[in-house]
Structure 1
Amino acid sequence: MKLKRLLIAGAALALTALPAAAGELSFWHAYAGQQDKIDFITFALDEFAKKHPDITLDVVAAEQSAYKTKLNTAMASGNPPDVFYTLPGGFLNAFVKGGQMYALDADLAKDGWRDSFLESAIAQTSKDGKTYAVPVDVDSVVFWYDKALFAEKGWTVPKTYDELMALAEKVKGEGLVPFSLGNKDSWPATFWFQYMEMRLKGSGVVASFVNGDAAATLGAEGEKAFQTVAEIAKKEYFPIGFNGMSDQEANMLFLNGQAAMLLNGTWQIGASADAPEGFELGYFAFPSVSGGAGDQTDVLAGVAASFGISEKTDNKADAVTLLKFLSSPEVMTKYVELRKTMVTVKGATTEAAAGPVLYGISNDLMNAAGHLDSFYDTAMPPAATNIYYTTLQGVLDGSVAPADGTKRLEEALKANK
């Protein structure tokens, strides 16, 4: 395989994908601008070149924000790349709705390919019963804490929500912030609302709206979830000024021992690399909620990246070959090793590659979960996501009543299927 690499350096560069000849594919990805991403894609494409010398790839790379703009432009102009990186949820579904994605189901049914993935991950790249992209990695959300601090204070990890609130009161009594939160960019607080909705009502709530279920509703549980996060804010269990604080600032409060716990994604492992000496990162699952109708083992976990094939490509056989290679256990285990991120291929997140913390989350929480519920904000269409963000911020600062928040979000979801 021959590789032709092009890096998108700025927004002024206009790109279109040229039609592929036999044995040629255009391949676009967003693994640029971050060394672990670059290391992975370099390894993967070099290995593919060794195994498939008859396939030539024209490679275009970009950082995430520039990439999304370029891909949207290429798709809108009718000149899409043959194989490309895409985000699940609303971003992917827009292309599906436009008839621009190749359905992979017939290919996934061969040689056990589909069975190699976590089915809950495949569900996040599927629409109306068909799968349009191969899920690559997955981020899950858990509570993080400093084991050394908990040991020093004699605190124990809570198993129930009532125990979590009792612990928060103890932490506050010690002069510390119970839960670090920097919600300036709106998404960090969504973990609190979504987990409460999952525990109270169950997983798949937003997915039911997106999939066009006429009976979809947030229910009374949605109002209760908004009410619960509003109460936490009112009790000052979050930092002062959290709605204007960045995620990075909240992380520093946590790492410096000023905040006891942090509800965040598995990227926190990397974000804790520069923690002070003596800090020992630990995790625990979002606690069970008494009387909740949801499966209390469910985990908030979203597919972060996937690869799909354009419906327009004339070289679908080689495109499928590339996707099968990228999602092979060997390549995915290397992904875990280089990026310290869980992957969607069964058995590829090994302890040797992942390290003890990430492997523990994968083995103890993810594998035991009844369901993996994708991030609400990425599953929603963009217009609904914006309303979700502003509504939740309003509920947290007291300017929006929980009942009104529920009504706003339901209306947005129904209007933006």
Structure 2
Amino acid sequence: MTHPGEITRRQLLRRLGFAALAAGPGAGLLSACATAGGGDRQAAAPATSIAASADPRNPFGVDAKKPLEVTIFSGGYSDAYARELHQEAYKKAFPGATVKHNATQQISTQLRPRFVSGDVPDVVNNSGPESMDLVALAEQGHLADLSVLFDAPSVDDPGKKVRDMVTPAVLANAKIDGKDLVLNYTVSHRALWYNAKLFADKGWTLPKTWAEFTALGEKAKAEGILLFAYPGQKGPYYQLWNVLYTAAKIGGNQVILDIDNLVEAAWTAEPMKQAVTAWVDIQTKYGDKSYFGLDHTQTQVKHLQNRLLFYPVGSWIENEMAKDKPRDFEYAIAPIPDVTATDVMPYGAIQVGVGENFVVAAKGKNPQGGLEYLRIMLSRDGARGFTEKTQNLTVVNGAAEGVELPAALKSAAKAQDAAGQNIIADARFEGWYKELFDHGTEQINRVMAGRITPDEFCANMQKKADEIKNDSSVSKQTRSE
């Protein structure tokens, strides 16, 4: 089953222009403010709307001399695309304007005090392990309404709206409490990643069943190679994703839908228990606890050194590790092997979704400029330039046509082709219920390190989910597919 937040290979590649190929979450921002005083939850503040202008070249009525401030998460995509491409395009459109650029990996730490004080940047790339709680921001009226952006004329063709130039997954995932408040800019594939050249040299084939997976683990162990490595101190949510996607493979996407909808006993359902147990067993038999002391980048360097076979991450990995990647390493995607003989989703199912959140601060000094900045990002030049600089795909239709893709994305395209309609659902609770997701990263650390059992992990997660479900101060979101 494919839900609106996901895209099939045909949709992705056709809309991105691959005719020839027929080719992330942080501290709960302002949570105390959002729930101060107890009692029923604070009603969501109305999203700030910017009136549309009649000028298709300046549809938001941007003051051409007003400064713009942009904060970018400098992670796997770095921040050069923003500095050298999107911000330069903005200054070209408005020569009298200055653009203040801020790059950080500590989004919440840096911006939380500024949102409290009211001195906020106009555009925020809300990503990484310290991303902000967007639901809390929405409740306090901090997020500008992006419906005017989606309904604005596109930069490339004033006869078409921006919403007509992007994959529908963008629109489906833009909503908080029914309002268009978030722009997801990238398309990513999350699965297990490995070195295709190493496998070719060894004559190894990808394991399709869990028995084959563990048998390969024995072969690798004999050569001093780990089958799998935990993604370190800063990447526990990578493994949380991995467990969730494994549970969906076992029990179908309804497993994740139930978790997102805070359904009773969703976390203690049998597919979740089986998934956690399977990965804890892999860590115990074929992992190395010393990796818990590393950060995710250090673990990824060891992956490049062929110290481990499989690593759970997304398709941004090649760009993130470009400076360290040796010539004899070729990133390729591996679907999760069949865990049981009765997995609902067949071998080859992978997760494909949109991500990399951008928001415009409704209470910033230049929200009109913020909207225009996003419109420039969603132009074909803006999107194509992003792909060229980061070697990752955007959500803009046709923008990547003709761009030479790295091995990782070519592999992801083939994997998506093989998956067909068997696309694993993304878990939206990480954005809807930040406290639950943060609790999940803590608990996955504990269970993978052997400090709690898989049953205790599931029970602890269910307890937290129930607390959130029963807390009237927390805004509830729902999804049907």
TM-score (norm 2): 0.70
Matched, 1:274 2:317: no
Distance in 2 (CA, whole Å) between partners of 1:340 and 1:360 is 13
The partner residue of 1:391 within 443, 451, 462 is: 443
Q: What pairs up with 1:362-401 in 2 under 5 angstroms?
A: 362=413, 364-365=415-416, 368=420, 370-371=422-423, 373-374=425-426, 378-379=430-431, 381-401=433-453
The equivalent position to 1:333 in structure 2, one of 384, 391, 403, is: 384
Per the alignment, in what secondary structure is the counterpart of residue 345 of structure 1? Answer: coil
The unaligned stretches of length 5 or more in structure 2 are 1-60, 153-159, 469-473, 475-481
Question: Which of 83, 86, 101 in structure 2 is aligned with 1:44?
Answer: 86
RMSD: 3.5
1:392 to partner: Cα distance: 1.7
Letter in 2 for 1:280: E
| 8 Å contact from structure 1 (residues 336, 353) kept in 2 | no
Q: How far apart, CA to CA, are the structure 2 residues paired with 1:207 and 1:25?
A: 42
Instruction: Name the counterpart of 1:158.
Output: 207
- Name the structure 2 match of 1:6: none
CA contact (8 A) 1:25 1:319 kept: no
- Corresponding residue to 2:458 among 393, 406, 413: 406
Per the alignment, residue 246 of structure 2 pairs with 196
Q: Residues 212-361 of structure 1: matches in 2 within 5 Å? A: 213=262, 217-218=266-267, 219-234=269-284, 236-270=285-319, 271=321, 273-289=323-339, 290-294=341-345, 299-300=350-351, 303-312=354-363, 318-350=369-401, 352-361=403-412
**Secondary structure in 2 matching 1:414:** helix
**Which of 120, 142, 145 lines up with 1:103 in the alignment?**
145
Residues 59-116 of structure 1: per-residue CA shift (max 9 Å, x gap): 2423231x43343223222343444333498622221122221222354245342243
Q: Is the 8 Å Cα contact of residues 187 and 354 (structure 2) preserved in structure 1?
A: yes
| Pairwise CA distance, 1:346 | 2.9
For 1:393, give the aligned amino acid.
N
AA matched with 2:97: T
- The equivalent position to 1:63 in structure 2, one of 83, 104, 109, is 104
- SS of 1:187 mapped into structure 2: helix
User: Out of 76, 87, 109, which is 2:116 matched to?
Assistant: 76
Count of matched residue positions in the alignment of Structure 1 and Structure 2: 394
Q: Percent identity?
A: 19
- Give the drift of 1:338: 0.8
Cα-to-partner distance string for 1:23-79 (whole Å, 9 max, x where unaligned) = 4353322266999523543222222333344x73552423231x4334322322234
C-alpha distance 152-400 of structure 1, shift in aligned 2 (>3 A): same
Q: What SS does the corresponding residue of 2:237 show, helix, strand or coil?
A: coil
Q: Give the secondary structure class of the aligned counterpart of 1:136.
A: strand
For residues 81 and 166 of structure 2, what CA distance do their matches in structure 1 show?
23
Once residues 176 and 259 of structure 2 are traced to their aligned partners in structure 1, the CA distance between those partners, rounded to angstroms, is 12
Displacement, 1:408?
Answer: 0.8
Q: Distance in 1 between matches of 2:228 and 2:297?
A: 14
Partner of 1:128: 177
The change in CA–CA distance for 1:177 and 1:85 in structure 2 (over 3 A counts) is closer
3-state SS in 2 of match to 1:142: strand
Q: 2:133 — aligned with what?
A: 91
Contact preservation (8 Å) 2:273, 2:454: yes
